[in-house]
Structure 1
């Protein structure tokens, strides 16, 4: 028993990073609410507990600047002033009532209708990016499609200049090392501070220009958002625009690349989707369940309470593992079967409750359009990368590289 538990200690082990399904299934077998001594917190893997944890806004906090997560960050406050200042204004790192202020104003600007309006442009971009890849023997799928599509979409939606795209990717990767907890990167706060400075310098003049002369973009909508007299400050607009630039392409890039790997592993599902394009919508949900772009999200307890038969103490860390919840055999029938027609599909890929991923509808739209076009135009997408390895982070599920070949019909 002790040896078995010891093998579950390292949340950034090769198995945990590259094969999280096997790893977290073993954690769940050990205990659905399991104390991890190395992380110094609880690992939650059962669907019912993870879903309840996401909805428990009274006893579980998302605030990274209070409780047990605050020590490392606040000790660095004098060194990394821009990083701390703007991350503290992000929606997903805040609790009510400040979260309510931010989310209600963003909801005025970032509506489902404003996202759906983007579908024709996304469809056009998918076509223009995929066509040059037809005759290639080897394609860097991450750089040439999975990154490029969402970064163009979010840049255009926000009003960020197209020429800044490549820089945005580099800066976002540096922010991601902090946000996604890249525990093997000791310099992550240094590079993230520089990245935040650069992103703020990029976005601030856009915000000020839109305040004078609004355009048909999201930053203009945020500048003019008003809920009963409540409005964003300039710093809040900049902070959450940075968040959208970062999260708006990172999550979708990983969703597209993980989908490509799954359809390579299960080629019959690609053929099914090509015969019935309507499956693209449910297929995206199944990718989010089976191997979504976010593995887990952390919370901390504001007071003692019971979860999964365990007593959670005040200030305890709690890791809600969506990936494990989405493979829970007590909730999903045949969870290791990848079924693009699975419905209903009550996965937790984008979380639940007030912190449900704001960009979920946009990520879904982009993935739907990409899968619809690619499955219609190509007989298969062959993965050429011999050994798939993933970024060594606690939170995200993203490949380091992915080379493919598009096979024509």
Structure 2
């Protein structure tokens, strides 16, 4: 027998509370124990926290939609559509905001240009960048690890990979942060559509001439690959390229920055794992997977129901919103032994940090590669990492797990 709209304990009403944002593991563990598919009247949707139900939600492309511009999410955009039409138009071309068949068109073409081989050839350059950035941290009592390493590495890598000029990197950071306020449902930011719209305009103005130049002067970069990508006669339109380059700029450094920073915090809390990695650099691959599980860069992703169905014993109605909390799923003791322990040798590690199904993060191989090289080098070169930020604070939004700052000391060997 199913149950509809169960009464919600007030404790779990506010998904942007300090408890939910700063200590999500404890918050969502308690929610999963009490009500794993939970109706939240404040968000006006279902909060899903058990591994089995979250993975089912990610894989259900027939009954659940990712489309941000249809169903209940269309109402969120309705008041801003005319005023911020350029922002809405470009976001409507993003892969992760679309369903099949349009998603298939975008993803198939991106996959012809963004291949595992094209990512792997970046390893020597990434290794060089890691060494250069890390060496500048030596012998210092305090470093701004977020700005000097965790941000800089991925923004340089994604800019070079795409073919964006080096002088634009600092602007990329500022514009991406402004865009993130819209993408991540940032709480308390009433101006997010204004700043996000301006950021999108700046990014489009930067990228459009590069796209047009690559049409006649292709280079060894991803923008050239997208411009000339063709699959069974299907090709990208110019605005589709620009839109998805913006997405890659934004996601390509934001996700990896948070992955690296959150990993440093985890290693600080479990110093024995740092020594373990230093003694066995071959553990870098599984170490990155464990960071993704333990404290990944994305907390949750939203869907909406295209038709009524049952999930976890609850009756989901058409147009109901659903928040799939992969952070909670990755700490479900029914699927992970000792989930509160950070174990860099954990294997298999079937975490959901990058989602599942057709919307699995296309940039996951690049994020993994950068983090593997970063952690392996840092653990080899530095005896320990010490987080100096007295009170770690995370961005107040539903989606990302992003530190506002991270000061640290890396102790020389």
Give the TM-score category using the shorter length. over 0.9
CA distance in 2, matches of 1:245, 1:74: 26
CA distance in 2, matches of 1:408, 1:5: 49
CA distance in 2, matches of 1:145, 1:4: 42
User: Which residue of 369, 383, 402 maps to 1:398?
Assistant: 402
1:331 has 2:335 as partner: yes
- Kindly indicate whether the alpha-carbon contact (under 8 Å) linking 2:215 and 2:227 is maintained by their aligned counterparts in 1: yes
CA shift digits 1:52-95 (9 cap, x unpaired)? 10000000000000000011213211110111010000000000
User: What is the Cα deviation at residue 3 of structure 1?
Assistant: 11
Number of the residue aligned with 2:282: 278
1:115 has 2:119 as partner: yes
User: What is the Cα deviation at residue 137 of structure 1?
Assistant: 1.2
- Kindly indicate whether the alpha-carbon contact (under 8 Å) linking 2:8 and 2:40 is maintained by their aligned counterparts in 1: no
1:294-373 matches, within 5 Å, as 294-373=298-377
Number of the residue aligned with 2:140: 136
CA shift digits 1:116-164 (9 cap, x unpaired)? 0000000000001110110211100111000000000000000001111
CA distance in 2, matches of 1:128, 1:83: 37
Q: SS at the partner of 1:324? A: helix
Q: SS at the partner of 1:405? A: strand
CA distance in 2, matches of 1:254, 1:304: 36
Number of the residue aligned with 1:166: 170
Number of the residue aligned with 1:84: 88
Q: SS at the partner of 1:236? A: helix
Number of the residue aligned with 1:13: 17
CA distance in 1, matches of 2:116, 2:317: 39
Number of the residue aligned with 2:53: 49
Number of the residue aligned with 2:193: 189
1:183-262 matches, within 5 Å, as 183-262=187-266
1:40 has 2:62 as partner: no
1:61 has 2:74 as partner: no
CA distance in 1, matches of 2:249, 2:132: 22
CA shift digits 1:13-35 (9 cap, x unpaired)? 00100000000011111211000
Q: SS at the partner of 2:410? A: strand
Aligned length: 408
Number of the residue aligned with 2:296: 292
Unaligned regions of 5+ residues in structure 1, if any? none
- Kindly indicate whether the alpha-carbon contact (under 8 Å) linking 2:8 and 2:41 is maintained by their aligned counterparts in 1: no
CA distance in 2, matches of 1:175, 1:26: 32
Give the structure-1-normalised TM-score: 0.99
CA distance in 2, matches of 1:141, 1:177: 22
Unaligned regions of 5+ residues in structure 2, if any? 1-5
Number of the residue aligned with 2:3: none
CA distance in 1, matches of 2:362, 2:86: 23
